[in-house]
């Protein structure tokens, strides 16, 4: 009993002290964490005197409390909501549930981070049989009243009561057919009244209960439904994709309704202060006459461009343009705004920072810095590093596009809503699209229009196509935010999800057929159009932004490159050297593989003293020496004046030989056919050597420095090739800085043995040439023991490079291929791990080995260069950690170099800001 009393007292204390609800003119606009983005925006606009319908915000804390209490409102919240509702009644002069002068409200979500369309909204709440008549009398427009009521029943039934959408859609479409109506606006009051009756019957049949009439009951259930939508599937999928935490909660905004569906002097729209696709400084948006906001964002009607508003409602447009400019100046960022015009009067419903394409993000950041709106530091911090990747994705080959058009493969054209080239097999069901993508297919999602429930299919798709909707519809906004190419409002393309096909230009396209979408032109092609690489040199604003980033970053950015072509590409992207040149990749070229196999097949016997094998072994090494020398000349020349870290041979030797199983089948077949002679002997010898080199776990077997110890002649050849290449370039006047990396050290004695073997070779080359080259020997730290013994290892290593791919495998005890194929997705989706540790550095485990290894290494050798050369070197969160622990550089693939440059600058700026705060 005592516990119950304590709980009651605690609940009473919370209800008395916790404020769950704020009127728009009371909330602190800076508290996005509490009011959510939408609540923060309407609070700021209300307090700035901008025309905003009055309302109130229920906080994100209330949502979290609701979820923690098993879907019960926290103590005091409902009472505070009723008090705030009374305040809205006073401000509007209307009464909630008053049949004579009814107040209707919208109930909308509003999380801290923008999640367009991922949670629920209910409009026209408060309508019932009594208030409907009052609304009709007040407006003198029965058609408008019944239109609002049928919308409310539909939304409430689908969102709050959880009913399927299709029965409502079928009933509405049948009503349009009976009335001979093409558009929703063609239906008269009598038809809409009949539709509302059919909708109520659908609710009664599905729930066994009549549609709720009591406005307060409607409001209570709607608020709960918005809270519940925070953990809905589409919201969770979206947050997983955008890496938004699941514990933030959503606010709920209850706002007096204003109506865009009151006739031809009313309308609703969505607009941006700059073009969200290109970043151009021009007011961009769309609107619909005689409509409500959901009509625009849902894409059920294809809207008009915002410029038309200037023609049909010039006064409202001029006021809107002035407010838009004011909002951009206030927030110092591109704004995404929703508005309604009710009988000529403009009302602002929302403002928030706009979702935009990668190109728009970069162009806008640079333009605003050049305009003096923001600083260069802010411009660098405005662009998500992963957006840089989108600018460097392939585009369609103009010649192939022309050929496709001449061949009659152009299916149609819609609105170019999100740029980029997308090629994939088309599917019309988001569940199927997701399933096929998980099976490894490239997919295109095609829908008449998308709804928020389709987001999982959109995440899985390469691009999205809709036959209805505009550039501000749900599909367009979400696709832009995710970097997906999108073509929307392609009205000449008839998409039929139920039949699993679409019809366009006299063709029938079925599920699984190939499509190509050009999100930059809005054109849709049948089949696969060839894509070509982008031209970094043409990305002027991106290059400018990255030049600013280079001024702020401390970390060096190097590239993983194995060929002169890779090295040259890396330099074009701004790499300051090569952090990993994998010499074994050079061995896989077809003209070299026979020589490499000759070396491997004779290495063991040569080591055992077989003179013939020794001669063949040396012959192969000599031929490879010449080839490797040429390789290194090309790579070092491309990186003239910059360091090049060359890793000596690392993988197990069997990787250069045929598959054991395939070879065994081949030899068995030859024996069965009675084959003999030299070919048979050669195949048997090859099978025997492959069998000798087979290992139960090759990743932990004979590889890395262990190869150098057993077969020192291979790495001696490689070191000679590296130094002879550097000497040849020096004689041409080209400066090079080769750094020779010995892989997979676990014990300092391994490094001592290998370096003692290789150092004399390097010295001999330079003495023979009479040339001085600034070379270094270092090691790759990729085993936990090496990280723990880094202080000892640094006695012999002049630089460290953390190989985080192998270090992650060995720290977790995971085989990467098996883990990613079998269970890592489950680990991440069920919260066992926050991220795939092979994609995002595990800072608490692997990261601590990096921190410890760096500290111990520099305690021994203060000038020790330390970097990362695994895939994590191009991942922004991992780069921030590398900055934090004081690494000197990160190395990544050439195409990730621009990403790393930006991420390194953001890490430095964030670190400096944190230090200032302290």
| Catalytic machinery residues | 474, 869
**Is 512 in contact with 433 (CB distance < 8 Å)?**
no
Alpha-carbon span 337 to 668, nearest angstrom: 73
Burial of 611 (0-12, 13-18, 19+ CB in 10 A): exposed
For every residue of 157-171, which 3-state class applies, written as one string? Answer: HHHHCCCCCHHHHHH
Q: Which of 302, 294, 305 is nearest to 414 (CA)?
A: 302
Alpha-carbon span 465 to 748, nearest angstrom: 59
Alpha-carbon span 533 to 355, nearest angstrom: 26
Main-chain dihedrals φ then ψ at residue 125, nearest 5 degrees: -70, 140
Alpha-carbon span 287 to 349, nearest angstrom: 14
**Is 484 in contact with 502 (CB distance < 8 Å)?**
no
Alpha-carbon span 638 to 468, nearest angstrom: 51
Alpha-carbon span 641 to 890, nearest angstrom: 18
Main-chain dihedrals φ then ψ at residue 546, nearest 5 degrees: -70, -30
Beta strands at 531-532 and 395-396: parallel, antiparallel or unpaired: antiparallel
Alpha-carbon span 782 to 801, nearest angstrom: 8
**Is 92 in contact with 111 (CB distance < 8 Å)?**
no
Q: Is the four-CA dihedral 449, 451, 457, 459 of positive or negative sign?
A: positive
Main-chain dihedrals φ then ψ at residue 256, nearest 5 degrees: -60, 135
Helices (H) and strands (E) in the chain, counts: 38, 31
Beta strands at 556-560 and 304-305: parallel, antiparallel or unpaired: unpaired
Within a 10 A sphere around the Cβ of 62, how many other Cβ atoms? 28
Alpha-carbon span 715 to 647, nearest angstrom: 10
Distance of CA 136 to the CA centre of its chain: 47
For every residue of 550-594, which 3-state class applies, written as one string? Answer: HHHCCCEEEEECCCHHHHHHHHHCCCCCEEEEECHHHHCCCCCHH
Q: Where are the alpha helices (DSSP H) in 273-426?
A: 293-297, 307-312, 314-331, 358-370, 376-382, 385-391, 398-406
Alpha-carbon span 514 to 501, nearest angstrom: 12
Burial of 649 (0-12, 13-18, 19+ CB in 10 A): buried
The crossing angle, in degrees rounded to 10, of helices 358-370 and 540-552 is 70
Beta strands at 523-526 and 410-413: parallel, antiparallel or unpaired: antiparallel
């Amino acid at each position: 009993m005592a516990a119950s009393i304590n709980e009651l007292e605690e609940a009473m204390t919370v209800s008395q002290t916790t404020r769950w609800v704020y009127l728009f003119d009371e909330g602190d606009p800076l508290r996005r964490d509490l009011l959510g983005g939408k609540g923060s925006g309407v609070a700021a606009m209300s307090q700035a005197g901008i025309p905003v319908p009055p309302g109130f915000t229920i906080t994100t804390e209330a949502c979290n409390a609701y979820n923690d209490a098993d879907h019960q409102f926290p103590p005091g919240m409902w009472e505070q909501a009723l008090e705030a509702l009374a305040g809205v009644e006073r401000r509007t002069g209307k009464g909630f549930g008053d049949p004579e002068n009814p107040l209707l409200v919208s109930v909308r979500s509003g999380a801290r981070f923008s999640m367009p369309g991922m949670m629920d909204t209910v409009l026209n709440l408060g309508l019932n049989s009594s208030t409907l008549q009052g609304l009709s009398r007040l407006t003198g427009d029965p058609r408008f009243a019944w239109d609002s009521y049928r919308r409310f029943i539909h939304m409430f039934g689908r969102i709050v009561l959880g009913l399927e959408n299709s029965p409502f859609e079928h009933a509405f479409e049948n009503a349009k057919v009976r009335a001979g109506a093409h558009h929703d606006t063609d239906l008269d009051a009598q038809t809409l009244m009949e539709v509302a009756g059919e909708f109520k019957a659908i609710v009664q049949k599905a729930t066994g209960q009549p549609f709720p009439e009591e406005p307060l009951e409607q409001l209570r259930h709607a608020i709960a439904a918005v809270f519940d939508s925070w953990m809905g599937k589409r919201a969770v999928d979206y947050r997983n994709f955008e890496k938004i935490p699941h514990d933030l909660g959503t606010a709920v905004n209850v706002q007096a309704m204003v109506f865009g569906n009151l006739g031809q002097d009313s309308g609703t729209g969505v607009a941006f202060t700059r073009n969200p696709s290109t970043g151009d400084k021009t007011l961009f948006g769309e609107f619909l006459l005689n409509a409500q906001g959901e009509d625009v964002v849902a894409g059920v009607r294809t809207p008009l461009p915002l410029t038309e508003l200037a023609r049909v409602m010039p006064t409202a447009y001029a006021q809107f343009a002035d407010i838009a400019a004011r909002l951009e100046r206030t927030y110092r960022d591109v704004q995404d705004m929703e508005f309604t015009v009710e009988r000529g009067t403009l009302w602002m419903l929302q403002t928030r920072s706009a979702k935009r394409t990668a190109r728009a993000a970069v162009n806008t950041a640079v333009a605003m810095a050049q305009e003096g709106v923001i600083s260069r530091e802010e411009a660098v911090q405005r662009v998500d590093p992963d957006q840089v990747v989108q600018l460097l994705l392939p585009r369609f080959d103009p010649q192939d596009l022309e050929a496709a058009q001449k061949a009659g493969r152009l299916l149609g054209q819609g609105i170019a809503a999100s740029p980029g080239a997308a090629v994939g097999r088309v599917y019309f069901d988001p569940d199927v699209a997701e399933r096929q993508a998980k099976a490894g297919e490239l997919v295109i999602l095609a829908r008449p229009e998308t709804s928020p429930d389709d987001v999982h299919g959109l995440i899985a798709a390469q691009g999205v196509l809709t036959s209805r909707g505009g550039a501000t519809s749900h599909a367009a906004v979400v696709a832009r935010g995710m970097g997906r190419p999108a073509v929307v409002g392609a009205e000449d393309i008839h998409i039929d999800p139920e039949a699993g096909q679409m019809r366009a230009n006299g063709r029938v396209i079925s599920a699984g057929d190939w499509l190509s979408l050009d999100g930059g032109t809005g054109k849709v092609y049948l089949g696969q159009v060839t894509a070509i690489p982008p031209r970094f040199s043409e990305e002027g604003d991106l290059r400018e932004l990255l030049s600013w980033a280079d001024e702020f970053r401390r970390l060096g950015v190097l590239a993983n490159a194995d060929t002169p072509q890779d090295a040259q590409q890396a330099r074009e992207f701004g790499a300051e050297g090569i952090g990993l040149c994998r010499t074994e990749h050079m061995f896989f070229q077809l003209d070299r593989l026979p020589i490499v196999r000759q070396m491997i097949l004779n290495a063991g016997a040569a080591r055992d003293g077989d003179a013939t094998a020794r001669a063949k072994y040396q012959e192969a090494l000599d031929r490879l020496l010449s080839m490797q020398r040429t390789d290194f000349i090309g790579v070092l020349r491309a990186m003239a004046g910059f360091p090049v870290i060359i890793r000596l041979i690392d993988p197990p030797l069997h990787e250069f030989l045929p598959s054991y199983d395939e070879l065994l089948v081949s030899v068995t077949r030859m024996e069965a056919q009675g084959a003999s002679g030299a070919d048979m002997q050669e195949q048997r010898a090859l099978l025997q050597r492959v069998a000798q080199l087979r290992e139960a776990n090759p990743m932990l077997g004979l590889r890395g420095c262990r190869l150098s110890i057993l077969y020192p002649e291979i790495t001696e050849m490689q070191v000679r090739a590296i130094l002879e290449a550097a000497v040849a370039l020096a004689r041409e006047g080209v400066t090079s800085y080769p750094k020779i990396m010995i892989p997979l050290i676990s014990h300092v004695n391994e490094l001592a043995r290998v370096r003692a073997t290789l150092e004399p070779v390097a010295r001999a080359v330079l003495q023979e040439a009479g040339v001085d080259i600034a070379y270094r020997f270092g090691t790759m730290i990729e085993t936990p023991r090496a990280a723990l013994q880094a202080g000892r290892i640094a006695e012999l290593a002049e630089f460290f490079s953390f190989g985080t791919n192998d270090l992650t495998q060995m720290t977790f005890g995971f085989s990467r291929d098996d883990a990613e194929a079998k269970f890592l997705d489950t680990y991440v989706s069920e919260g066992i791990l926050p991220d795939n540790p092979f994609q995002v550095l595990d800072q608490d485990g692997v990261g601590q080995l990096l921190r410890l290894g760096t500290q111990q290494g520099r305690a021994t050798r203060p000038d020790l260069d330390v970097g990362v050369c695994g895939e994590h070197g191009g991942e922004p969160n991992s780069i921030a950690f590398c900055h934090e622990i004081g690494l000197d550089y990160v190395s990544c693939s050439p195409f990730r170099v621009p990403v790393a440059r930006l991420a390194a600058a953001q890490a430095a700026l964030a670190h400096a800001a944190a230090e200032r705060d302290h």
